[in-house]
Chains A and B, each alone.
Chain A
Amino acid sequence: MESNKFIVGLWDHEEVYLHAIQHIRAKGVEIYESLTPFPVHGLEQALGYRESRLHTASFWFGATGTILALSFMTWAMAFNYPLNIGGKPYWPLPSFIPITFELTVLFAAWGMTLTYYVRCKLWPGRVPPIFDARTTDDRFALVFDALKLSDAEMSEIKNMCKHEGAVEVKDRVFTENEGL
């Protein structure tokens, strides 16, 4: 990340936390990151994120699976190496249905999940910036980029957090290649 100097505000109740986000964003302060221990309902709306497009992606992945399965089986059975199997026709469509369905699901699921990992920057061995260890336990955090902020602005943000019910506000400065 380009910045290494942050203000971290910590809340202990998701409702107060959501409330705070509302007000802080209303005051036009840019929230760099918001960390919660579990998916808080309404958080993305509060932060004004637009809806995720993952499901659209998965639809297209699925469609690929369907087409691939059907076309391959047709080619293999009816054109590439036609065999008389049990007196069935060379193109036994009903027999293709189960596999077509399974491949559809397979492609949709894998395609979508991989996309999710990529978009969320998740991969084995990735070292994330940990603003506060408790954010995966019981703390709801708001992180503000403090790199370009003046001291006055910084104290203003801190007060704002305190006023909005933050149980703790602190500076977080990342040192060079800091690990976990």
Chain B
Amino acid sequence: MAEKIYWKGIEEKEQLEGYKQVADKEFSEELPVLSSITEPISTGKSNRRDFLKMLGFSVTAATIAASCEMPVRKSIPYIWRPEEIAPGIANYYASTFYQNGDYCAVLVKTREGRPIKIEGRESKNARVTKGGTSPRAQASVLSLYDGGRYRNPMRGKENITWEKADAEIGEKLKAANGKVVLFSSSIISPSTNAAIAEFGKSLGGDKFQHLVYDSISYSGMLDANDKTFGKRLIPSYNFAKAKVIVSIGADFLGTWLSPVEFSADYALNRRVSKEKSDMSRHIQIEAVPTMTGYKADKRVPVKPSEELAALVDIYNVVTGGSAKNEKYGKIAQELMGAKGESLLVVGSNDVNAQILANAVNNALGNYGTTITWDRPYNTKQGSDKAITNLIEGLNNGSIKAVLFYESNPVFTSPVKGLAEALKKADVSVSFANRLDETSAACSYVAPDSHWLESWNDGEPKAGIFNLTQPAISKLFDTRQFGDTMLRWAGKEGSYYDYIQQYWESNIYGKQKEYTAAFWAFWDNAVRDAEVETAGADSKGSFNGSGAADAASALVSTASSLGDVQVKFYESIAIGDGYWADNPWLQELPDPVSKITWDNYIIASPIWMNKNGYNIDPDFKEKRYAVAKLTVNGQSVELPVAGVPGTPEGVFGVALGYGREAVVNDELKNGKNVFGFLTSKDGGFTNIAKATIEKTDKTEQLAITQTHFNIRLKDLGGVKTRKVVKETILKDYKKDPAAGNEDRKEILEELVTLYYKHDYPGPNWSMVIDLNTCTGCGACVVACNAENNVPVVGKDQVRRSREMHWLRIDRYYTGTEENPDVVFQPMLCQQCNNAPCENVCPVAATNHSSEGLNQMVYNRCIGTRYCANNCPYKVRRFNWYDYQQADSFDKKWGTDNNRPLSEATLSMHEPLTRMVLNPDVTVRCRGVMEKCSFCVQRLQAGKLEAKKGNRVLADMELNEDGTVRKFGDVSTACQTACPTNAITFGDRNNKESVVYKKFNDERAFGVIEDLHTMPNIMYLTQVRNRDEEKVYEVLDYYHDKV
């Protein structure tokens, strides 16, 4: 007889019957991956997975609500729990981050179906980026919940359905009596390219044209390679193999070409130890200081024109000639001293410069060793001609329809007039997933899905295939670009199937690993998100015929630049402006200038003194004099900030600021200087002849680390303060404790009457290698994401109220003309004798049995005494209700959020709050907060080990010192670091990596002589130089008044 069903209510009855119907099917629900790309929440047709997403959201809502004094709300348990989701347990999906040339192999951490954090992929599955991440990759999860995202297709300002959009656009494209152009940045996805081709074919004939333009252009390099090697490609640069690295204006650790990969490789030869005490030699010749230059063993500050001259000199010397300037002759000698093991990289976008660079590397025999053709980059394919072609085409009517994908030329184009030209087109479509200048100017917006919602593949370097898989169902009625292309090409089936077919026919065959069946291969591919196949043809014969002309061309270029020169550079955080609407990145202090939320003119402090600029702006207002910078005719007014190491008469301005089409005014800070890139034989060059004049205006800059003038070096000196310690390689080889000799006596002086507490369990400890830290800031953004660190906005940062738990301190030593620099990540030192704990009247901060300095938010009454007494100044106070975690204002419906900045308020949006990590309390107004060593991750890791009934697994290293696998516990900053500069673990485990490093001769604690007994040690900075001395007194200097 039929089984009776008892039910309590209608809904349940239906569910139960529904269950009965599917009960005998093998899969009671369709495969989640498919559903997740078919039905978005916003269509209202929500299936159970979508229900889970919603549930996840409500759970977060409850978590947020449960913070501070909010009442705890109950969330509904699952009725049938899908096997892959357990509330409170994070799921990790291997995926791939790619945007306009930035590539990163990542893991996406999801909680209850919400992506909340980006991690680096395990290094064996991250052959390019080696498990590291960049600030942008870390912050990209916030863009998923960006308030500016398009919710559905649009015609002008009007919302329309996809059916409508497809119909209208489709017919307009057919009708267009002119070219249909797809304008995009470099696309690394083979399937996307295939889909585009299908679409092009469907238009018939040669109606379709695909223009590729990189806003941060490498076209000079591509063209140079085309000329010299006959391939318009960029070869692999292997910094790991290079013993001598000379970079001419290339910020290869920060922004140049493939910074995450290069940082990892670079770090290999910078990581010194007793066993391996060899170090690469890094020489940087550059105009505007970059973090790469600040890391160099020898930094040669020169004018942009001199960069070119230096290149020519080096070229002459390595090709048997002689140098005009002996300085560069010497550098060339050093290169020749390491033939086949050296590397010359040039940042310039000038074809001739790149031709010479190739010639030099060729003469040094670096091709095949440090530069290889087997795995060229697909991340940069653009040509500078594309933008001019587009505008001309639109103006002369040969182009009638234009589609913009992953590209915002209206903002980034150096050539004016695109917005106007667009009006001439019959139809213009943008696939932008959120508001930008181009989509605002287009007649249609067909919003692409965010990469975290999309299926995609990618081939960053030839033969290294990656998969991007969705980690959340679509939040809005968007459709990913591939699907749109197929739909418009009149193809059936989803882009997901299309990718699969592509891989089955094109990639499956090439690899050897999984040959059983395609599905086995595919499943593993999805799990690892990376497959390696044979690379490209590794042969490349150099044709140096053009070199001589190139050299003379460069000389004339150099001479034409005059003596006031400006260089426009890419900011590590904002990039080409795509990230300007990301508050995390806006608030990330620039590694070099430590300024947030703005762009400005970088200038030489000495020049500023001479020309009556105030280098030492008053600390409360932080007012900087504004100057008018003029480059052939057009001019811009920006505040001038002094940066030591900038040559006199050289000025730098960051690209990407001054966005117009963004959700709130705070994101519009700065000025757009793309228009200043000057066109030069078909390419755009970022250096130019300029004039500068002081205005009587001033502007406030939100700088997080102001310069102070310490007149008595020995008193104020950082060396005296034992904050950072450094030595030179020669001394280090003699004595591993070089530069750290004073530690012995410091430790002897630390006597106490009290007994020491013992830490029976683990004793969490961290070691940070100053030598491999590049100051990039990936750890800072990772920390913000992991720990729900609030965004406070420009005004609050200016008032020195930034909330970052982890900051990167920057110290100068030596002269203002050419200083040495140390980057020091500074976070809570988890002191075992913590000064902060003693003074808290309510015991809200105290010490755990695992050596953690714990902060109990609910107990904190906010006296700020702990922050005053913290020698490291790492405690952060919630001056306002930054997180909207305060029950106070809601209760009475007051407007006491008024003091908050727009950026902070935008983080309060329910959509944006989905990014919050439910494991971490959001802190309410009036409580103190600080780094917790990611205690939530420690607890989770301990639980894992406990479930497995085993001891805590420590991190595993490869022979070369890189990380093979992180242990059960790892902090967010540690996993984010592209150079593995941060080591974390249990010091009580004598076998652990952290134990060994903690007791290394190079290890020292910051201001240890206060007897704080920090649980974080730093490893001394070692500089690879023999003659140059390390300055005795490390310290700040500034205005010599």
Contact = CB atoms under 8 A, between A and B. Distances in A.
In the A-B complex, the 8 residue pairs with the closest CB atoms = A86-B838, A87-B833, A86-B837, A84-B847, A83-B846, A85-B837, A84-B757, A86-B834
Interface residues of B, number: 18
B755 A85 contact: no
Contacts of A86: 833-838, 847
Nearest to B838: A86
A84 B755 CA distance: 12
Chain A contact residues: helix, strand, loop or mixed: loop
Contact of B849 (A84, A85, A87, A89): A84
Contacts, number: 33
B729 to A, nearest CB: 37
B834 to A, nearest CB: 5
Contact of B1013 (A83, A84, A87, A88): A87
A83 B836 CA distance: 14
Contacts of B832: 87
Interface string B820-864: 000000000001111111100001001111000000000000000
A88 B831 CA distance: 12
Contacts of B836: 86
A83 B848 CA distance: 8
A6 B843 CA distance: 65
B847 A85 contact: yes
A34 to B, nearest CB: 52
Interface in A52-89: 83-89
A134 to B, nearest CB: 54
B843 A83 contact: yes
27 contacts: A83-B843, A83-B847, A84-B757, A84-B847, A84-B848, A84-B849, A85-B843, A85-B846, A85-B847, A86-B833, A86-B835, A86-B836, A86-B838, A86-B847, A87-B754, A87-B756, A87-B757, A87-B831, A87-B832, A87-B833, A87-B834, A87-B847, A87-B1013, A88-B754, A88-B838, A89-B754, A89-B755
Given A83-B847, A86-B835, A87-B754, 4 more contacts: A84-B757, A87-B756, A87-B834, A88-B838
Contacts of A84: 757, 846-849
Interface centre among A83, A86, A88, A89 (most CB of B within 10 A): A86
Interface string B928-954: 000000000000000000000000000
Nearest to B759: A84
A84 B847 CA distance: 5
A89 B757 CA distance: 8
A84 B843 CA distance: 10
Interface string A80-118: 000111111100000000000000000000000000000
Contacts of B833: 86-87
Interface of B: 754-757, 831-838, 843, 846-849, 1013
Nearest to A89: B754
Interface size class of A (residues with CB under 8 A): under 10
Contacts of B757: 84, 87
Contacts of B754: 87-89
Contacts of B849: 84
Contacts of B846: 83-85
A80 to B, nearest CB: 12
Interface string A116-136: 000000000000000000000
A88 to B, nearest CB: 6
A84 B754 CA distance: 12
Nearest to A87: B833
Contacts of A85: 837-838, 843, 846-847
Nearest to A83: B846
B838 to A, nearest CB: 4
A95 to B, nearest CB: 9
Nearest to A84: B847
A161 to B, nearest CB: 64
A86 B833 CA distance: 4
A42 to B, nearest CB: 51
A87 B837 CA distance: 9
B477 to A, nearest CB: 54
Contacts of B755: 89
A172 to B, nearest CB: 59
A154 B832 CA distance: 85
Contacts of B756: 87
A85 B832 CA distance: 9
Contacts of B834: 86-87
Nearest to B845: A85
Nearest to B757: A84
B432 to A, nearest CB: 53
B858 to A, nearest CB: 16
Contacts of A88: 754, 838
A87 B836 CA distance: 11
A169 to B, nearest CB: 64
Nearest to B752: A87
Interface string A136-171: 000000000000000000000000000000000000
Contacts of B831: 87
B848 to A, nearest CB: 8
A13 to B, nearest CB: 58
A48 B847 CA distance: 65
A86 B870 CA distance: 12
Nearest to B853: A86
A89 B846 CA distance: 13
Nearest to B832: A87
A84 B845 CA distance: 10
Nearest to A81: B843
A85 B847 CA distance: 6
A85 B833 CA distance: 8
A84 B848 CA distance: 7
Nearest to A77: B843
A89 to B, nearest CB: 5
A88 B757 CA distance: 8
A83 B757 CA distance: 11
A100 B832 CA distance: 28
Contacts of B848: 84
